[in-house]
């Protein structure tokens, strides 16, 4: 039994439910003989991966859906052995080079070189090139980005890259300028409502519009999250009711609890306990940027408008450090300490004014 997010993931460009004009343009692109490197970017759960798989299917036919998982091994110049999981078909290979952290450069270079130099398994494949899908490229180190740029130029004859990223801001201009950019913005609330109702209809369920609307709003326009929440609602209670409880992911509730703790008491003890909580989230694989952004948005809910402005500008600074530094916990914790200081000072100043 598969989850609705997998079961109802559209498999053809013509079946994509939103950004339809873009899907049509992509179809035209795949029909031309030549095909550029692509950079598909947009927020999490907006449908990047789905669109990429549809492009591949259009290029190579249903064979790209026969996927296998493989572990690839690499050796760094200092003879350290690296292992990384890949998903591939006879026509393409998908890899997330940031899985190997600071060694991402080795993986990027070796992988592209190997793929470009090996023969296509299926010699009747309709294309002369293979596709390498690299995900989360905005997490690549600068070194790896430079290597990527050089390698993509060198092997353009035999392989094409499809890069996927949440935003282009951390990519070097050299990479951006060598790819055709495809922006997949988050679907609107109305689009999400329609998709949720479509999914439920295909399951033979009746989803009240009001509940679909509430789920869409709670999902933060992340379609994956919306569909997962909708399925969780079904497990919790069916027939649906318009005002039933919408289960939210554990990590979100956990971050909300951290934010409450920080706003209740600003002290060394709270900071120490928050450090433990942040470690807990990191250990469970919640991405640093998600932890940071959710925490900031929860914290500013408790802030007066002037304080909010200060907090947001500080958050921008710490987020920048988080993205460029290695130890996420330092920057997360430093931000919490800064928030506590600003919040406490604000309270003291305003209470002082009141007297």
Binding span for ligand ATP by CB under 6 A among 16-24, 76-84, 85-93, 291-299: 16-24
Of residues 206-225, those binding ligand ATP (CB under 6 A): 223-224
Rounded CA-CA distance 339/337 in Å is 5
Rounded CA-CA distance 91/75 in Å is 25
Nearer to ligand ATP, 14 or 126 (CB): 14
Residue 247 exposed, middle or buried by CB count within 10 Å (0-12, 13-18, 19+): middle
Pick one of 109, 147, 227, 229: the residue that binds ligand ATP (CB under 6 A).
Answer: 227
Query: What minimum distance in Å lies between the beta carbon of 243 and ligand ATP?
Result: 25
Q: Is 8 in the site for ligand ATP (CB under 6 A)?
A: yes
Pick one of 10, 36, 63, 287: the residue that binds ligand ATP (CB under 6 A).
Answer: 10
Q: What angle do CA 151, 155, 40 make, to 5 degrees?
A: 70
Cβ-proximal residues to 347 (8 Å cutoff; 6+ apart), any chain:
none
Nearer to ligand ATP, 49 or 338 (CB): 49
Number of chain residues interacting with ligand ATP (CB under 6 A): 19
Helices (H) and strands (E) in the chain, counts: 14, 7
Task: Identify whether the C-beta of residue 91 lies closer than 8 Å to the C-beta of residue 127.
Answer: yes
**Token couple for 325:** 């530094």
Using alpha carbons, list the distances in angstroms from residue 92 to 52, 54, 130, 131, 351.
11, 13, 6, 5, 62
Query: What minimum distance in Å lies between the beta carbon of 183 and ligand ATP?
Result: 11
Query: What minimum distance in Å lies between the beta carbon of 259 and ligand ATP?
Result: 23
The contact mask relative to ligand ATP for 27-66 (x = CB under 6 A, - = no) is ---------------x-xxxxxxx----------------
Residues forming the site for ligand ATP (CB under 6 A): 5, 8-10, 16-18, 42, 44-50, 195, 223-224, 227
């Amino acid at each position: 039994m598969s989850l609705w997010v997998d079961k109802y993931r559209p498999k053809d460009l013509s079946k994509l439910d939103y950004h339809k004009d873009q899907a049509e343009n992509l179809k035209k692109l795949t029909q031309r003989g030549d095909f550029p490197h692509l950079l598909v970017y947009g927020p999490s759960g907006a449908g990047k991966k789905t669109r990429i798989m549809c492009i591949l299917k259009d290029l190579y036919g249903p064979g790209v859906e026969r996927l296998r998982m493989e572990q690839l091994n690499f050796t760094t110049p200092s003879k350290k052995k690296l292992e990384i999981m890949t998903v591939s078909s006879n026509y393409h290979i998908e890899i997330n080079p940031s899985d190997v952290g600071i060694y991402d450069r080795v993986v990027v270079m070796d992988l592209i070189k190997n793929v470009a130099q090996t023969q296509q398994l299926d010699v009747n494949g309709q294309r002369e090139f293979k596709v390498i899908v690299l995900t989360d490229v905005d997490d690549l180190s600068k070194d790896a980005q430079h290597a990527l740029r050089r390698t993509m130029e060198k092997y353009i004859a035999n392989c094409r890259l499809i890069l996927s990223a949440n935003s282009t801001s951390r990519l070097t201009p050299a990479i951006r300028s060598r790819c055709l950019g495809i922006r997949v913005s988050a679907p609107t609330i109305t689009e999400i409502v329609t998709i949720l109702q479509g999914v439920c209809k295909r399951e033979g369920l009746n989803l009240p519009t009001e509940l679909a609307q509430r789920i869409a709003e709670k999902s933060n326009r992340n379609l994956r999250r919306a569909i997962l929440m909708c399925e969780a609602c079904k497990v919790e209670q069916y027939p649906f009711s318009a005002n039933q409880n919408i289960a939210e992911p554990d990590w979100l509730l956990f971050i909300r609890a951290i934010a409450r703790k920080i706003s209740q008491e600003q002290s060394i003890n709270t900071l120490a306990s928050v450090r433990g909580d942040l470690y807990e989230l990191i250990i469970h694989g919640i991405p640093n940027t998600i932890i940071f952004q959710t925490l900031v948005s929860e914290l500013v809910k408790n802030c007066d408008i002037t304080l909010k402005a200060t907090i947001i500008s500080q958050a921008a600074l710490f987020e920048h450090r988080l993205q460029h530094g290695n130890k996420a916990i330092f920057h997360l914790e430093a931000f919490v300490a800064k928030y506590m200081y600003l919040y406490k000072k604000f309270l003291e100043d305003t209470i002082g004014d009141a007297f």
